[in-house]
Amino acid sequence: MARKTTPAKTAVVTIAAWTIGFLIFFPILWIIILSFKTEGDAIKSPLQVLTSGWTLHSYAEVQTRSNYALHFWNSVILSLGSTVLALVIAIPAAWAMAFVPGKRTKDLLMWMLSTKMMPAVGVLVPMYLLFRDFGLLDSRIGLVVVLTLINLPIVIWMLYTYFKEIPGEILEAARMDGAGLKSEILYVLTPMAVPGIASTLLLNIILAWNEAFWTLQLTTKNAAPLTQFIASYSSPEGLFYAKLSAASTMAIAPILILGWFSQKQLVRGLTFGAVK
Amino acid sequence: MNMTCRALLGATVSLTLAGAAMAETTITVATVNNGDMIRMQSLMDGFYAKHPDIKVDWVTLEENVLRQKVTTDIATKGGQFDVMTIGTYEAPIWGKQGWLVNLNDLPAEYDVDDLLPAIRGGLTVDGNLIAAPFYGESSMVMYRTDLMEKAGLTMPEAPSWAFIKEAAEKMTDKSAEVYGICLRGKAGWGENMAFLTAMSNSFGAKWFDMDWKPQFDQQPWKDTLNFYLDLMTNYGPPGASNNGFNENLALFQQGKCGMWIDATVAASFVTNAKESTVADKVGFALAPDNGLGKRGNWLWAWNLAIPAGTQKEDAAKAFVAWATSKEYLAEVAAKEGWANVPPGTRSSLYANPEYQKVPFAKMTLESINAADPTHPTVDEVPYVGVQFVAIPEFQGLGTMVGQLFSAALAGSSTADAALAQAQAITTQEMTRAGYIK
């Protein structure tokens, strides 16, 4: 039976939701506001910041100093490349774990997730040496592989959870109708798991876009994504809030817009299977 | 072979040879993103006119990110950079490891003897110059001339710590949000520990004795920390344990600090009328002392160094020689004015009558000359470095001790407890690293 809701209750819940939403979004909003201020105004008290003049000066300076287009393009290639590669590996892996689990499948899943618990800096030197010896330093290919490996455990886990929701009987029926393994995954399983795959894809793009350890350590100029673009705008000596905010706004804008337009898909995918 | 074919072949060979002779060498320069380095990137025409066959690619990063990145690259011989911007902390450590190319063979017109002795001394390992200074800085007292006058005091050119305390007390007006003194409190080896280590030198303290035994249990360190905490608790701004260079800069520019002891590079910021509300009311003085023969100022320089193993050593040397030359300083002066010339590296700059007109030029030079990285403390010590100890372990140690002292400033610990913990941690780490037998 549906619970009774009064208009007052709805109003309270709505206000609470909007307040929480605003609080979560506030840091980003403040970054956007600061990006339109001068360095001198950006360090003033919040009230003075809001009442001071607006300028595009920081954006102009950031454009002059950095090659935004190159960094942006690298971010796109790295996040899309690593996501596609991760899905190609993760879909068959998740299929196997969901529909033909072995004795140790659960342990395997836990082990995969445990690799995420290791601090990245712990393997910095061996990774750097491997990249050096294979000629992969400052290359997009090398970083696509690294980002794929970093996010693979999460991708496999998410897909495994979605696949578990799909009745095995449907796949069985497909098999009885003569579908091979490839056809079963490509034409039966994948279309049914589209919302789950879509949300995994979006989440992986966001994670890869924001990755700021390996992308900073393993690149110099040719493959450097937007994380390095941002890293060049803070400074221990000298005012930098406005320029850093402008650089940050330019770096997060694409992913923010993508997230905005795909939020329905993202929420649906993330809550898929949450209610049985 | 007919004449046409021969002519074509000859032309092709000539063009190929000419092409090879004119082949462009691209060098990658890793640099910190301070104002002077950013300015250089827009003044490269002079270099390209002199070296049309060399192209420079820049990797510009924030100091801490840069430090981690170039350290990883040079330690693993990654070969990503042909020129690296390094500080005076890294230079002697890397030089001793043989990781840097010697710069002893720079051309005569470079005039290596023109480099300021204090700066050059910090970049010389076993008699070899292993990096060229791009800009140098020390620390000094910046104070509000109007508040000093109101307090009925006159700042001496070389004040003592006792005078600083007296002035801080008289300048403080908490009801008007004016605090007598602003000092670094944020934890970090390059943050509060840069200030406190330099300050401790003037109190006769030191990090280690000649046997590398930590000295935080000795009276000079107790005097240093107690004086600092007393000064900041009574006359400093609220929340000072979170304040680093930028936070104090903002406070000073907004007229909330009577005095600020920090990097000489801050002088150009606080006197810039576009950013500072007190630009025309700032005076400068040497960092304070306690009459023990050492002042509480530090010495730092950002330097250009060439990693050993680079395939483009000649091009890298040509760039380093140009970027740290007298010629470059003159070029900056011509295009951006004398106040924007990278300071603190060459004697000839301070002998220039035009540069002497810059308000903070004299005090910057005197502050740099007052620091001696090879003899930083009152007593003899086994290490080099004024506000740091040039050993690889110092970054970690300095930050750990900085956290303890920052906690004491925040009130969550006492001076005695912080010093006892600092002594214990440092002894443990130095024993583990093999310094203490």
> How far apart are the C-alpha atoms of B237 and B243, rounded to whole Å?
9
Structure tokens at A210: 């924001």
CATH assignment at residue A122: 1.10.3720.10
pLDDT at B5: 57
Does A89 fall in a domain? yes
The answer for B 269-298 residues in CB contact with A (under 8 A) is: 269, 274-275
Interface contact A240-B244, CB threshold 8 A: no
Q: Is A116 an interface residue toward B (CB < 8 Å)?
A: no
> How far apart are the C-alpha atoms of B413 and B358, rounded to whole Å?
43
Q: Which residue's entry shows tokens 């002795």?
A: B117
Which residue from A220, A255, A88 is spatially nearest to B61, judged by alpha carbons? A220
Give the helix ranges, DSSP H, for chain A: 7-35, 39-42, 46-51, 57-65, 68-99, 105-114, 124-133, 140-165, 168-176, 181-183, 190-192, 194-210, 214-217, 226-231, 241-261, 263-270
Structure tokens at B10: 């000859």
pLDDT at A40: 79
Does A200 fall in a domain? yes
Does A26 fall in a domain? no
- First-to-last alpha carbon distance for chain A, in angstroms, is 16
Over residues B415-436, mean pLDDT: 96
Query: What backbone phi and psi angles, to 5 degrees, belong to B134?
Result: -95, -45
Q: Name the residue among B58, B80, B246 with its Cβ closest to that of A239.
A: B246
Residues in chain B: 437
Interface contact A237-B30, CB threshold 8 A: no
Looking at CA atoms only, how far is residue A77 from chain B in angstroms? 20
Strands, E assignment, B54-108 = 54-61, 83-87
pTM recorded for the entire structure = 0.82
Q: HSE (CB half, 13 Å, CA atoms) of B313?
A: 11
Q: Name the residue among A128, A217, A235 with its Cβ closest to that of B34.
A: A235
- Domains in chain B (CATH in brackets) are 12-130+299-356 (3.40.190.10), 139-297+383-432 (3.40.190.10)
Low-confidence ranges of chain A (pLDDT < 50): 274-276
pLDDT digits 0-9 by tens, B98-135? 999 999 999 999 999 999 998 998 899 999 999 999 99
pLDDT digits 0-9 by tens, B190-208? 899 999 999 999 999 999 9
Burial of A61 (0-12, 13-18, 19+ CB in 10 A): middle
Interface test with A, best of B62, B191, B262, B274 (most A CBs within 10 A): B62
Is B384 in contact with B122 (CB distance < 8 Å)?
Answer: yes
> How far apart are the C-alpha atoms of B292 and B201, rounded to whole Å?
9
pLDDT at A270: 61
Does A19 fall in a domain? no
Over residues B333-344, mean pLDDT: 90
pLDDT digits 0-9 by tens, A10-33? 999 999 999 999 999 999 999 999
Does A187 fall in a domain? yes
From A39-43, B144-148, B288-292, B376-380, the region with the lowest mean pLDDT? A39-43
At B8, the pLDDT band (50, 70, 90 cuts) reads: low
Structure tokens at A243: 């320029």
Chain-centre distance of CA B426, in angstroms?
24
Does A38 fall in a domain? no
- Which residues sit opposite B54 in a β-bridge? B25
- The sign of the CA dihedral A138, A139, A140, A141 is negative
Q: Which residue of B has its CA nearest to A232?
A: B61
pLDDT at B189: 92
Interface contact A232-B60, CB threshold 8 A: yes
> How far apart are the C-alpha atoms of B124 and B339, rounded to whole Å?
28
pLDDT digits 0-9 by tens, B143-160? 999 999 999 999 999 999
> How far apart are the C-alpha atoms of B332 and A42, rounded to whole Å?
28
Q: Is B233 an interface residue toward A (CB < 8 Å)?
A: no
Burial of A70 (0-12, 13-18, 19+ CB in 10 A): middle
Interface contact B254-A124, CB threshold 8 A: no
At B269, the pLDDT band (50, 70, 90 cuts) reads: confident
Query: What backbone phi and psi angles, to 5 degrees, belong to A201?
Result: -60, -45
Over residues B240-261, mean pLDDT: 92
Burial of B114 (0-12, 13-18, 19+ CB in 10 A): middle
Strand pairing of B257-263 and B83-87?
A: unpaired
Strands, E assignment, B22-100 = 25-32, 54-61, 83-87
pLDDT at B19 over 50: no
Residue B256 amino acid letter: K
Interface contact B263-A237, CB threshold 8 A: yes
Does A22 fall in a domain? no
> How far apart are the C-alpha atoms of A95 and A175, rounded to whole Å?
14
Over residues B178-184, mean pLDDT: 97
The answer for A 126-165 residues in CB contact with B (under 8 A) is: 128-129, 131-132, 137-138
Higher pLDDT, residue A140 or B38: A140
Say which residues have a Cβ less than 8 Å from residue A108's Cβ, sequence separation at least 6.
A97
pLDDT at B7: 59
Strands, E assignment, B360-437 = none
Burial of A12 (0-12, 13-18, 19+ CB in 10 A): exposed
Q: How many domains does chain A have?
A: 1
Is B140 in contact with B363 (CB distance < 8 Å)?
Answer: yes
Over residues B7-14, mean pLDDT: 57
Note down the domain range covering A80: 66-232
* Chain A residues within 8 A of B72 when measuring between CB atoms: 124-125, 128, 217
pLDDT at B77 over 60: yes
> How many CB atoms within 10 Å of residue A96?
16
What is the ipTM, given to two decimal places? 0.78
Does A61 fall in a domain? no
Structure tokens at A105: 């499948």
